[in-house]
């Protein structure tokens, strides 16, 4: 399917690696001008930002002012907003080990960053009576896991926020959808401080075994790839999805039961 986003401006939060980086690549390949930001750059996003079509800025999206600063970099109008930034810490010590600081950090990055970026981008979309907002949610919004209890709660809140907002702004030309991946082959799961490594250190199991057990829970027996998630996000941002709003799309290899 040919997706043409020429002439449109997109903002992607957390675009230096993982799913966000894949989204930036696909948006740019589809012709959009892409503004993205994260706390730190990466060689991959630096290479993309060598082209005028992609602009990267270092910004702390957990700071209350950070999301609006990123959106402001895009100029007067944002056509597409991808609220992607997020983080999940494996809570191997159980619920009682999760502090107020842990809860605040998780809710800030996984929920409030999206709320704040949306608050900054939405007025221009409403003025244009056009726009697409896609939130990177998670299967844990519907399949809560005690190992990521605060992340699960934050993503459930993100899903509720997106659905409620879609009802308000849909009649005004702005579409809001969520994409909910299961485990994805990114640093969040597979990095040196990712879920697999954290569980490995706590249990003595090999990281490869932790990864394998997680993959085996899916019907397909594997993790999703970042590019697969990005393809779905970019489709939802395009005119091909012009009558899709208030919807959540799982990309989880059949992890969530259908009953």
151 flagged as catalytic: yes
For the CA atoms of 157, 16, 98, 147, the dihedral, rounded to the nearest 10 degrees, stands at 80
User: DSSP state, 44?
Assistant: H
167, 209 in Cβ contact below 8 A? no
The DSSP code sequence of 178-211 is: EEEESSBSSHHHHSTTSHHHHHHHHH---HHHHH
Residue 59 · residue 36 · CB < 8 Å:
no
Tokens in use for 109? 């990055």
- Full strand arrangement of the beta sheet holding 248-251: 54-58, 33-38, 9-13, 80-83, 131-136, 174-181, 248-251
CA distance 228 to 181: 10
Choose the catalytic residue: 56, 151, 235, 249. Answer: 151
d(CA 85, CA 126): 23
| CA distance linking residue 220 with residue 177, whole number of Å | 25
Q: Given the structure tokens 């010590």, which residue do they identify?
A: 93
Give the catalytic positions in this structure: 151
């Amino acid at each position: 399917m040919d997706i043409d986003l020429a002439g449109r401006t997109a903002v992607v939060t957390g675009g230096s690696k993982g799913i966000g980086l894949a989204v930036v690549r696909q948006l740019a390949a589809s012709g959009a001008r892409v503004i993205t930001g994260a706390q730190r750059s990466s060689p991959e996003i630096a290479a993309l930002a060598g082209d005028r079509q992609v602009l990267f800025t270092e910004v702390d999206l957990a700071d209350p002012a950070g999301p609006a600063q990123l959106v402001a970099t895009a100029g007067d109008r944002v056509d597409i907003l991808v609220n992607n930034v997020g983080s999940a810490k494996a809570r191997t010590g159980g619920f009682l080990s999760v502090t107020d600081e842990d809860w605040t950090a998780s809710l800030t990055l996984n929920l409030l960053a999206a709320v704040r970026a949306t608050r900054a981008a939405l007025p221009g979309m409403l003025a244009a009576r056009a726009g697409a907002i896609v939130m990177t949610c998670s299967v844990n919004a519907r399949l809560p896991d005690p190992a990521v209890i605060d992340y699960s709660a934050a993503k459930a809140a993100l899903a509720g926020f997106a659905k409620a907002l879609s009802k308000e702004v849909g009649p005004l030309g702005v579409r809001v959808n969520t994409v909910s991946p299961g485990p994805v082959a990114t640093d969040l799961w597979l990095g040196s401080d990712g879920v697999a490594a954290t569980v490995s250190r706590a249990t003595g199991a090999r990281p490869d075994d932790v990864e394998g057990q997680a993959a085996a829970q899916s019907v397909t027996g594997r993790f999703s790839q970042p590019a697969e998630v990005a393809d779905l996000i970019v489709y939802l941002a395009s005119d091909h999805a012009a009558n899709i709003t208030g919807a959540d799309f799982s990309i989880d290899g059949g992890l969530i039961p259908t009953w």
